Each structure stands twice: as structure tokens, then as C-alpha cells.
Amino acid sequence: MSSTSKARKRACDSCYRRKIQCDAESPKCNWCSHHSLDCTFNRPTRVKKTAKSKKEPRPEGLSQRIERLEQFLANKITQQQDDRPEPAAESQQSASCGSSSNSQVDSPGRLGDQAFSCPDSAIGSFGKLHFAGYHLGEISLGNGVPLFSSGGRRWIESQTGQSLGFAQLDLPLWHNHDRDHDAFASPSDTELPDLKVTEEYYNFFCNGHIRYVFPIVDTELFKQTIAAAYEPPGRGPRYQHARAKACVLSFLSIISFMEPSANVTPVDCNACALKAQYLLPQVMVDTSLDGLQIAFMQGMFNMFSGLFEKAVMFHALACRIVLILGGHTQAIDPSSPRPDSETENSWRIKCHIRKYFWMCYSFDKDAAIRSGHPPAISDEHCNLTLPSQYSDPNQELRIDSVGNPFLPGDLRLALIKSKAGRLLYSAQALLKSDAELLRDIRELDDELEEWRMAISPSYRPSLSYRESDGGINHNLSVSEKMHHIITNFEYHYLVATIHQATSRCRSWDNRDSGESEGVSSSLALSVEASRSTLLYLRTAVEALAGESFWMVIFYPMTAILTIFCNILLNPLCSRANEDLELLRTAPHFIKNIRIPRLTENEISHMKMIEDFVAELIRLGSHAILKAQGAQQSFPHHILSHESP
């Protein structure tokens, strides 16, 4: 190395790669001299970007965190371009790290390089849950998401000094634990209720808010199905008659579950669903629109009953049927006028199948990212052109060309959710380097922010929700309120899910070297989004439709787990006690969700949630006390830092 080098960099390649101070002495710096290394300055220089972003600037707090994440990403990419050090130098550095008293590589449940180096290992870990480099639990194909793995439990015990006071649960707390829920019951018959009763529920659907939230039937086409179901047997193929009956029964199970008005004749929703299921062998002779509606409505009924495993199986059937019917490739815009070449009936059928594709797609991406299961619908095989009305950010309830409402939720959010699952949580995503993972997180974060800024300000989610931000407009209809609430829950959940993917980064194993600064920034966004979820629940609980309990409970329960893990990770954080109080109030607001028919199972489940959160609070309190005691006993070993 020449002593007359021009534009000499502040750190040599070896010191830069290790993130250590370089004295830049000539001809060799102190580190290279002591380790017999070539002291080079050959790494490429990053070119500073001069182009200005066309996007609107974000609020300062989020912007600063994202800038730190981008800087960390740039550093990681630059490091990958450098020449790798010689084996001797590598072994010396490894020995140095291994002797550090602060090394966390061997901590209980800690991620090591081995988990990423072997493809079989990575693929086998599909669906694992991580937090800040700790492996907390598995996503089981049979049972959903167990709360903690054995490694996760060991980490909790090491952070708190306490044994866990609850048994390992077979199912997550957002699942109905009543597994025998009508599973072995037999219907006394498969007969339909009186035609007048069915017509009451049909009219209730046509005039009620449910139609705008879930357009499960076309009002005109379903008249034909009702007529076929009540037609005397023998006038047509038996399977067609059975299919029409099963469709009507599935419809009744959904609408009666949604707590119709007191003027409607009561119907046993569970009995209707069970009768329809007993007709399934006769129904699945071929694929049809009625068969699609039956499978979807059965999945929907079980989803709203908290029976997620059963719901997912019906959902997979609905997805397969809608693909066979061509709903995934039809370039049909239900909001456009009917072409002259189509009859009104044929146009309604095509539009309804396309709507069902989008409903199946939305449910599919939601189930995949919640459970870790692969999606049933692959984006690469689908025409994902959105209806034209989605270009209008002020139109919250969209109506098609024949007057029917078009889809719940927001399809743009479903597309982002699908991309997040593919880029961050697929089997291939587990093989990505830290730099690749951080780049994908940044890309998804940008897309999510673009979506947030594109929707109507009247129900646009806040970046970080505070109760002072205001509540729900009570002048809105029930469907509009639910749209507002679910949009906010979904946004904060997606922020948390996207940024929590940094928990798999190997940088957490080198926390003392400063490499974890960027991923810590990203994880802070995940924790803050989880706080926003629980704070928003306080505001939204009074406006929540009670029948959505089993769908909505997922959001606060996942937020509770994230905040609890952050308390264990950063027990000396200034917000740790505030977070404990936030957890303490969560069960109260969950109990305030008005369930239409509060059964013994729901009451028992509420008690289970209360006990579970109480145990998390106890463990979190012990983690704080343990850390404070260690700080008082060994103050010189404690490094003060700001946590999420």
C-alpha cells in the first residue's frame, strides 16, 4: 500500500468489513499489522443517489427509521461485494467473537448460521415464528400456530427467571378450541325450512348490510336456486336438486348466524350448515356456480365460528372450483356495462364468478399469511386486473353494472398481502440473505405506504395510532363502520408482519458489533404497529359487529404476543411498564366485543384469554425486575440503549 495514495478511505477493507475503528496508519493499520493481513483500500465506493423521489415525504419519525434501514441495507450490499477474508483471518475473528462475554450465539432459541446454510433445514423451517433472532414457535400444518416452541419457552424462562405457568396449547387463542363442535352430530333430516322462512332471509339479505360486506349470492340468480331447491323431487337430476338444497341451507346458516332482525323467523344456523355438509357427496358430482357458493359459504360459516382448520379445507375446495370455472382468467369488469353479445343471465353468471374469484383470492392470501400455509391460488396463473372502480379512492362501497355490491375489503391490500407472503415468508424467502430480505421489506413498506396515501382520508389509517386521533363516525352504516375498522386492523397487522421478518436476519447474532442497528429499527416499526392495534381496539370495540369476533380476535392476540416478546427483549426500555399496562387492559376490550350468541364455549374462551394474558403480564413483570436487579448489581455490564 502506497503512502501517497490519493483520496484515502477512512477505514481499510478489513476494518470496514468488521465495523471496527481503523487508525489508517501507513503502510499498515494496527489491526492488519497485528493479524498479518494485507491492508487494502480496494472496495468499491458507493455512488450517492442524486435523483429525488417522486413520492410524498413521510412523517419524520417513520422517515428517520426507514433511512436507518436503507443505510444498513446499503452497507450490507457493499459488504457482499468485498473480497472475502482469508480463512486464517476468519478463524481469528471467530475466536475473538466466541470469547466475548456478550455473545448471544448460543442463547436458548437463538438463530445460528447453520439454520440458513442448509437448504433442507431452511425448507423444513417453513412457517417458523421468530422475534429478534429468537425462534419462538412453529406453524403446524395440522394445528395452526402453537404459541411457543421448546426453544422459545427456554428463552422466556431465561429472560424472566420464571417457569411458564400455562400449558402448551394445541391451538392458537384466535381459534375455537371446541373441536367437537357438531363434528359427530347427524341431522335428523336434510329438509329445508318452509319456503316463507327462506324468503324472509332472502329479503333480509337483499335489504341488509351483509350484502355489502359479503356479496355471497347474486340476488337474481339466487331466486333460480331457491326455486330449484323447493321444486318437487323427480323433475330433474337428483344431484341438481341436492345441490340447490345445499346452497339454500348454506345461505341460511350464514344469514341466521349474522343475527337478523327480531321479525325474522329463528333458524338454527348450525343445523342448516350440518344438513348442507351431509349433502356434499351428492353436490360434488361436477363443478358449478352453486357448488362454488356452497364451498365458500361453508368455509365462511366455519371461519366465523372460529373453526379455522375446517374453514381452510372448505376454502381450498372453493378455490379449486373457481379456478375450474375460469374465474381467475376472465378479464371481466363487473362495474362495466353489459356487452350486447351477453344476455343478462349469462353476464350475471360471469360477473358473479369473477367476484367469487376475488373473494376466494382475498380469503386465501389472508389465511396463508396468518397460518404460514402455502396459498391455494398462485398469482402467476391469474389475471389480477382490478375493477375500474378501484381507481376512485373516494368510493368505499362499489356497485357493479347490475346493482350488486362488489367485494368486501380492499383488493389492493390483498395483492400486497400476497406479495408479502411470497417475498418474506415462503420457503424460498427463508434462503435469502439479510440484504435481500431487507430490500424486499423496504419495497413492501413503500407499496403499503402508497396504498395508505391513495385511499380516502375519511378512513385512512394513521402511521401510529393514538386514542386522540378520534373514533369511528357513528353516522356510518354498519358495513361502512366494519370497512373502516378492518382496514385499520389490516394495515397495522401488515406493517407488523412485514417488518417482523427482520427477526430472521443473521445480524441479530452480532448485536454487539452494531450490525443489528438496521434490523432493530425495522423491528421497532413492528412493535409500534402492534401497540397501535391494541389502542385502536379500544376505540373500535363499540362499533364492531359481534359476528366478526373470531375473525377480529386474531389482530389483538398477535399484537399481544409481539409486545410481550419486546418486553422480554428490552426489559429496561422506558416504555416497558406502559406496554405491560396496555396488555393488562386488552382482555377487557376483547370481552366487550358483542358476540350475538354467547355460548359456554365463548365464555370459557374469554376466561382462557384472560388467564393467558395475566401470565404474560406476570412474566413480563419478572423480566423487568430481573433486568433492573442485574443493572443494580452489575452496572458496568449494562449498556444503556433505546429500544422499540
Max mean pLDDT range (7-21, 82-96, 187-201): 187-201
- Domain holding 217, by residue range, is 184-332+348-408
- CB contact at 8 A, 215 and 407: yes
Q: Give the model's confidence band at 33: pLDDT under 50 very low, under 70 low, under 90 confident, else very high.
A: confident
Q: How many domains does the chain have?
A: 2
Nearest by Cα to 301 from 369, 227, 210, 190:
210
pLDDT > 50? residue 59:
no
- Residue at 571 is within a domain: yes
State the Cα–Cα distance between residues 261 and 208, nearest whole angstrom.
10
Taking residues 566-580, report their average pLDDT. Answer: 92
* Rama region for 306: left / alpha / beta (φ>0; ψ in -120 to 50; rest): left
> Mind listing the pLDDT tens digit for each residue in 436-481?
999 999 999 999 999 999 888 888 899 888 877 777 877 877 777 8
- Residue at 123 is within a domain: no
446 and 557 housed in the same domain = yes
421 and 403 housed in the same domain = no
Chosen domain end from 357, 388, 408: 408
Q: Give the model's confidence band at 55: pLDDT under 50 very low, under 70 low, under 90 confident, else very high.
A: very low
575 and 534 housed in the same domain = yes
State the Cα–Cα distance between residues 26 and 32, nearest whole angstrom.
11
Q: Under 8 Å CB-to-CB from 67, ≥6 apart: which residues? A: none
Residue corresponding to grid cell 481469528? 92
**Distance of alpha carbon 90 from its chain centroid, rounded?**
39
Mean pLDDT score across all residues of the chain: 76
Burial (CB < 10 A; 0-12, 13-18, 19+), residue 639, is exposed
Q: Give the model's confidence band at 513: pLDDT under 50 very low, under 70 low, under 90 confident, else very high.
A: low
> Mind listing the pLDDT tens digit for each residue in 534-558?
999 988 888 887 777 778 888 888 8
The residues that bridge with 129 in the sheet, in sequence order, are 137
Better-scored residue on pLDDT, 459 or 278: 278
- Residue at 89 is within a domain: no
pLDDT at 139: 37
For residue 481, how many other CB atoms are within 10 A of its CB? 21
- CB contact at 8 A, 434 and 507: yes
- CB contact at 8 A, 147 and 583: no
- Residue at 33 is within a domain: no
pLDDT at 407: 57
Q: What is the CA radius of gyration of the chain?
A: 28
Tally: H helices and E strands in the chain: 24, 2
Least confident segment among 292-306, 456-470, 556-570, 576-590? 456-470
210 and 165 housed in the same domain = no
Looking at this protein, which amino acid is placed at residue 270?
N
Taking residues 601-621, report their average pLDDT. Answer: 83
User: To the nearest 5 percent, what fractions of the chain are helix, strand and coil?
Assistant: 60, 0, 40
Better-scored residue on pLDDT, 641 or 510: 510
pLDDT > 60? residue 397:
no
pLDDT at 455: 84
SS3 129: strand
200 and 327 housed in the same domain = yes
469 and 584 housed in the same domain = yes
Max mean pLDDT range (69-73, 233-237, 417-421): 417-421
Q: Give the model's confidence band at 169: pLDDT under 50 very low, under 70 low, under 90 confident, else very high.
A: low
State the Cα–Cα distance between residues 207 and 196, nearest whole angstrom.
16
Q: Give the model's confidence band at 105: pLDDT under 50 very low, under 70 low, under 90 confident, else very high.
A: very low
282 and 397 housed in the same domain = yes
pLDDT at 174: 54
204 and 302 housed in the same domain = yes
Least confident segment among 93-102, 187-196, 210-219, 461-470? 93-102
- CB contact at 8 A, 582 and 534: yes
Grid coordinates of 179: 373441536
- Residue at 278 is within a domain: yes
- Residue at 605 is within a domain: yes
Taking residues 25-37, report their average pLDDT. Answer: 79
Chosen domain end from 408, 435, 453: 408
Nearest by Cα to 486 from 463, 466, 461, 464:
461
pLDDT at 478: 76
Phi and psi of 395, rounded to 5°? -100, 100
Nearest by Cα to 619 from 608, 609, 607, 627:
627
pLDDT > 50? residue 503:
yes
pLDDT > 60? residue 106:
no
Phi and psi of 134, rounded to 5°? -100, 135
Cα atoms in the 13 Å half-sphere on the side-chain side of 149: 18
Chosen domain end from 408, 429, 455: 408
Looking at this protein, which amino acid is placed at residue 496?
A
DSSP-assigned states of every residue in 617-630: HHHHHHHHHHHHHH
- Residue at 496 is within a domain: yes
- CB contact at 8 A, 299 and 252: no
What angle do the packed helices 238-257 and 269-278 form, to 10 degrees? 160
255 and 397 housed in the same domain = yes
Distances (CA, A) of 506 to 95, 102, 104, 115, 159: 18, 16, 12, 10, 21
pLDDT > 70? residue 201:
yes
328 and 238 housed in the same domain = yes
pLDDT > 90? residue 193:
yes
Least confident segment among 23-32, 189-198, 564-573, 580-589? 23-32
513 and 543 housed in the same domain = yes
422 and 393 housed in the same domain = no
Q: Give the model's confidence band at 71: pLDDT under 50 very low, under 70 low, under 90 confident, else very high.
A: low
- Residue at 569 is within a domain: yes
- CB contact at 8 A, 568 and 108: no
pLDDT at 624: 93
CB burial string 14-38: b at 16+ within 10 A, e below: bbbbbeeebeeeeebbebbeeeebe
